[in-house]
Each structure stands twice: as C-alpha cells, then as structure tokens.
Structure 1
Amino acid sequence: MTLDPALTQMLSAADLRLLAAAGGAAPSLHNSQPWRFVPTPDGRGLAVYADTDRSVPLADPAGAAVHIAVGAAVFNLRVAAGRLDREPLVRLLPDDAEPGLLAVLDLSRPAVAEAPFGRDLYPAIAARHSSREPFTQRDVPEAVIGELMAAAREEGVTLAALEEEGVRRVQELTADAERRNAADPARAAESRAWLRPDDGTAEDGIPRSALGPQDHDARVPMREFGGRPPEAPEQPPSQRFEALPQLCTLSTRGDGPPDWLRTGQALERVWLLATLHGVRLTVWHQAIEWPDTRWALRDPAAGPGHVQLVLRAGYGPPGAATPRRAVEETLGERPS
C-alpha cells in the first residue's frame, strides 16, 4: 500500500505528551478534568473520551458541563496541533455506538495556515486561569468585546455582552441559585468534595487558596463551595468587587451534546483570546444548575436560544493556578 505523500509522520511520544498537556489545561466545572486522550489506531490523531467518573452529577445532571469541558480540551488540542505544524480535522460524536467518544482529531495533514485563529493562542493555554478576585472599575473596550464575539461566532456559539438591566437580572438569578445550592446539603457536599488542600499534592479540584474572597457588598455572587465547613481555614476577609460586573452569556440555538461541545470550544477560544488581551474571566455556573433560573437567563428579545454559561469579564489579578492531572493519567488506551 502506498501512503499519501501529503500525510505527516505518526505522532511521536513527545508530540502526544504536548497534546495531552495542552488538552488537560482546559477549564472544567470544579476543575474536575473529565477527559481522556487516546491515540488513534493509525498513530496520526487523538480520540477524546469523556471520563464520566469525574462528573458532578447534582450540578450537572444532563452531562452538559462534562461536554463543555471536553469541548474546551478539544479546542486546546486544535491550538496545540499548530505547534506541531499539523492541521486538526475534528469530528464530534463520531460513533453512535460509543457515546463516551466525544471527538476524534485527525492530525495526519500538514498545517495550511500559520495562525488559523488569527494569532498564536498557544502561549495563552498555560497563562489562562479563572480569576475569583475583585476586578477594577475599568470596562473591557468594545473593540475587545467585538473580537470575543467574533471568536465565539466562529465556533457556532453566540456571545452576548449584557447591558445594565441584563446584568442585574443575571446577578439576581445567580445569587438565588447560589443560595439554593448552599441550602441543599447534598449539593453543598458535592461542591465541597472538590476542594483541595494547599500543600501541592492535589492533581484536580480547587485549592482553598484559589477560592478568593466574597463581595463585601454582596453584589457579585461568587460560589461558596459548600458554605466553607468548620474544618476549613479561616475565610479570607471580604473585599469590594466592581459595582456593576461586566457579564456575557454563551448561548446556542440547540441544547444537546453537539451544542455543548461547540460551547466548550467557543469558551476556550474566547478565554485564550481574552488572556492575550489581559482580560480576566470567571465562569458563573450556579444559575445553569437549576432549570428555572437557567430558563430565566434567556433574553426574550433575542429570540429562542439556550444559555450555556455566564462569564464575568474584567481587569484584575490573573487568578491562582489550579492543579492538573499528570499526562500519564489522561493519555492512554481506550477506556473499557
């Protein structure tokens, strides 16, 4: 059999490690990291599986957050493929008989563009962190917001920047969902289970030092992670957050696995671009976790659609890095 001369060589062990490290740096609910990367049989691609053992079932009963996280990992793989001078061809949900297989990336072809996303996003993969700190009063410029909207649109997702009325509505819905989460013992325990000590031994979850303060004026509803149990270290002093946070929503017309995977890719594309601009992001997920508050997140004037995530954007500290699973744990054979 004669091989197509346009095909690149098989991925080396170093290539696979670079890809898995990039994919594993993606954001996920509670830093649960619910993914697994498996070389394709021809050695020139990666299959991406959902690791449902790392789901957060009460906060994410339908598995949307797992798909969004995997979608974000897929986008990082696309970016990292460019570092290897390969063109990533992605198939989402390629096999109905294998529902845990969420994407396959064919990396057999050489890259056709030096900067397929308009600029080199690869350095932002390691620099991207969620910031749960107060932001300054400085607004993100309209030109930057426009770039973020265009980035989401390229992935088939709508990013909407909310005006003051919409911001206040989303604040109230998020605060209501946060109160309900804190009052539900099972949900509080589920989120608390993802807290980790600050001794450097964790490979997933959220170190307590990364939680950040609460808003002194109770305007910006940051997640409490199970109400900070008595055995937790003393809560950091509250601080004053921005008077009116700058909020955006990511929405899709549909609400199924393909839409969730596209949302994850859009989220990471937006987040990496924002990082290069010095813009910090926080994901507000609380209102997504309750059907009634999620439905109320919609802007009726915008027509039908499903809000998948709420993003808080602004300028401030970059946020603490969260731990990552070792490549040896995420890169391996097809799960049984």
Structure 2
Amino acid sequence: MNSARLDVATLETLVSAAVAAPSIHPTRPWRFRLDPDTVTLEIRAVPYGGPRPADPAGRAPHLAAGCAVLNLRVAVAHFGWEPVTRLLPRPEEPDLLATVRIVGGDGDVPAPGLYDALWRRHSSRFPFSGRPLPRAVLGELAAAARAEGALLSRPTPKETERLLELAEADHHISTDSDPAARSRVSAPEPLAPRGCRDRLPQRPAHRYPAAVPARPLLAVVTTADDGRIDWLRAGQALQRVLLVATAHGLRTSLLHQALDRPDPGARLRPGSCGAGHAQMVLRLGYGPEGPPSPRRAAQEAGTGRGHRAVSRPPTPPAHTTPTASRSPRGARPA
C-alpha cells in the first residue's frame, strides 16, 4: 500500500476539515500530529481541565474525536486518496485515539455532497418548522449510522416529550446563570410565540417566522457496546448522520443533556429507543440556517513532528485537487 504525497496546503485543508466537527462540550478536545514518514495523521486527546462529574470516563471527548475522524476521512477521500483508519491503535498510548493513514491510489468513492456539507454544518438553536421529514431522507440517515457500526432510532413519544422538557430546563439554567447568555435571548423587539413543544431560544418574530411543530423529531445514536472504541465509532456515525442531514438541507442540534445530567433518573431511559447503548440524542428538522458556530483555529489543533501551523479557518478552501502522487515514503511538508 503506497503512501500519498502530501503538501502543506493540502495538509492545512485536511486539518481544517477535521476541526470543523462538533464537540459535545465547547472544548475541542483533540490535537493532530503528522508522521511524515508514513503520511499518517494522529488524533490525540487533550486532557480536559474542568470537572466532569457527569462524564468521568470521558465519553463526550471520544464522541467529539470520532466526529473529527469522520470529517478527516471525508476530506481525504475528496482528494482521491484512501483514508486507512485505526481506532485506539496503541494500547500503551491511551491518549492516541485514532490514526488515519493517507494512501495514494484508488480509494472508496466518497458519498456525494458530504465534503461540501462538512463546511456548512453547524448546530442550530433557531426554531424548526413543522415540515415533516421525507421517509427517504429518514432512511438515508439510518443508513449513514449503520455504515459506521451504529444505529439511529427514535425514542417513544412519551420519552420525546420528557427529553424536550429536560432540554428546556437546562436552557433556562444556563441562561439564568450567564448574563451574556441572557442578553442574547432577551431583546427589545417583539418575540415570536414559543409553544411548549418548541424548546428553543426565542427570536425576533419579524426576522424568523415561528412555527410550532406538533412534535419535534428526535433521534438517538446507539451502539451495541459501551467502551472507548464504541464511543469513537458512535462519533463517526453521529457525524455522518449530521453531514447527510446537512446535505439534505436539514438543521440539527445535539441534546447531550439527556445523557450528561448528574441525576441518573433524569437521563434518557434505557429501552426507550430500542436495544443498545444510547450515545447521543439529536434534533432534526427544517428551519432558518442561522449563524455558524465559532470554531477553534486549525493552527491551535496541530502540533508535532512534520506539522506546520495551520492558519486557514474551517471554510471551503479555494484550491485545485492536488495530484495523489505515489511514493514509498510520504513527503515532508516544506
């Protein structure tokens, strides 16, 4: 298997694509390091500096890293190369979550639209409309999760209502304790009516027409087991679902509160979304695009031998696809 020849500009684009992934909490808990001899990108965990009473095992950072791995795979395939991915490749290095070796030659044809979607995807806090999701789109979302070794299921109507109530309560707690957050959701302009089932921050009515769906669509990513490697697979499944949803014009948001609440009785109830271990709850629908979420600069995510500082922000780069030159050893970035 021959390694691809990788230049600095392409490396910057790949890392920018990876860091465009969501993090469950706003920490971006990853670092990227290039082994120039094998043209392999390492994804390493960054120690979390704050308390994690609801997530002592670090499930959320693994999910976030899995999302970044999926974005990296999509970007590598976009350039015509093959991403050879290994999860937890060295047990003696627990901070090494994954490696992606970039191999020249004919790789798998990437799913259409995913590369463009990864630059446009962001969580939406705006109201969703009541427009139903087509059955064919729901099928594609479920297939996206299965492609990464996970399942996408829907909680029962009763559990959906309970989860939305938890999300509403958490939103009020976060804004009540954060003056800046209160200023973002309080405005002197007329506010659109918000129904009890439209659990999102209020927005000016004349800018964003309000529509209260009969019941928002929630979906749950589940895995058969619940170890570190399963969390990484779940993250890749989650991100593929998010990218497919974005490609179809859907808006999405993550309801991690359903899994992270300190009180076990307030979390997602076992069996309410089928068998398996729930890894993430997401909300899907149609609505205004809204502003993109702030991203960590790619230069902050890349360190290590052979890796230069990346200054390009995670936006679609203007470039031509480089030639995937075959070489027994990967070229060191100039």
Greater relative contact order (Cα < 8 A, sep 6+): 2
Give 1:188 deviation, angstroms: 8.4
Q: Structure 1 residue aligned with 2:118, among 113, 125, 134?
A: 125
- 2:118–2:243 Cα contact (<8 Å) kept: yes
Q: Does 1:34 align with 2:5?
A: no
| SS class of match (1:302) | coil
Question: For the Cα contact (< 8 Å) 1:79–1:121, is it kept in 2?
Answer: yes
**C-alpha offsets along residues 112-147 of structure 1, whole Å, 9 cap, x if unaligned?**
3333xx324100011101111111111111111111
C-alpha contact (below 8 Å) 1:215/1:221 kept by paired residues: no
RMSD across aligned C-alpha pairs, in angstroms? 3.0
Structure 2 residue aligned with 1:70 = 65
Unmatched tracts of structure 2, length 5 or more: 186-190, 306-334
What CA distance in whole angstroms lies between the structure 2 residues aligned with 1:121 and 1:44? Answer: 23
CA 1:111–1:33: 2 relative to 1, 3 Å: farther
Question: Percent identity at matched positions?
Answer: 40
Amino acid in structure 2 at the alignment position of 1:245: P
1:17-56 to 2 correspondence within 5 Å?
Answer: 17-53=12-48
Instruction: Tell me which of 219, 231, 240 is aligned to 2:197.
Output: 219
Q: CA deviation at 1:321?
A: 0.6
Whole-angstrom distance in 2 between the partners of 1:75 and 1:153: 14
SS in 2 for 1:110: coil
Cα distance in structure 2, aligned partners of 1:18 and 1:219 = 40
- State the number of aligned residues: 294
Shift of 1:30: 3.6
Structure 2 CA distance for aligned equivalents of residues 65 and 313 of structure 1: 20
CA distance in 1, matches of 2:252, 2:74: 20
Offset of residue 253 of structure 1 = 1.8
1-structure distance, mates of 2:259, 2:221: 11
Whole-angstrom CA distance in 1 between matches of 2:68 and 2:266 = 24
Q: Is 2:78 the counterpart of 1:83?
A: yes
Letter in 2 for 1:147: E
Deviation at 1:61, TM superposition (A): 2.9
In structure 2, the CA distance between the partners of 1:10 and 1:188, relative to structure 1 (3 Å rule), is: farther
Counterpart-to-counterpart distance in 2, 1:283 and 1:11: 34
Q: 1:166 to 1:99 in 2, by over 3 A?
A: same
Post-superposition CA distance 1:60-114 (Å, at most 9, x none): 3321111111000000000000122210111101111111110001112423333
Q: How does 1:205-244 map to 2 (within 5 A)?
A: 216-222=194-200, 241-244=212-215
CA distance in 2, matches of 1:47, 1:82: 17
Find the counterpart in structure 1 of residue 139 from structure 2.
146
Distance in 1 (alpha carbons) for counterparts of 2:57 and 2:29: 14
| Within-5 A mapping of 1:1-336 | 7-53=2-48, 57-115=52-110, 118-175=111-168, 178=170, 182=173, 216-222=194-200, 241-290=212-261, 292-293=264-265, 296-299=268-271, 302-303=274-275, 305-333=276-304
Partner letter of residue 271 of structure 1?
L
Assess if the C-alpha contact under 8 Å between 2:84 and 2:102 holds in 1.
Answer: yes
Q: How far apart are the structure 2 equivalents of 1:149 and 1:60?
A: 27
Any gaps of 5 or more consecutive residues in structure 1?
1-5, 197-206, 225-234
Equivalent position SS for 1:85: coil
SS of residue matched to 2:280: strand
- For 2:249 and 2:39, the matched residues in 1 are separated by 35
Distance 2:79 2:273 in 1: 44
Q: Aligned-pair distance for 1:263? A: 1.0
Q: Is the 8 A contact 2:40 2:102 kept in 1?
A: yes
Q: Distance in 1 between matches of 2:29 and 2:224?
A: 25
C-alpha displacement of 1:324: 1.8
Code of the aligned partner of 1:247 = L
Question: Secondary structure of the residue that 2:218 maps to in structure 1?
Answer: strand
Query: In structure 2, the residue corresponding to 1:62 is in which secondary structure?
Result: coil
3-state DSSP of counterpart to 1:38: strand
Greater displacement, 151-160 / 251-260:
251-260
Matched AA of 1:323: P
Tell me the TM-score normalised to structure 1 length. 0.77
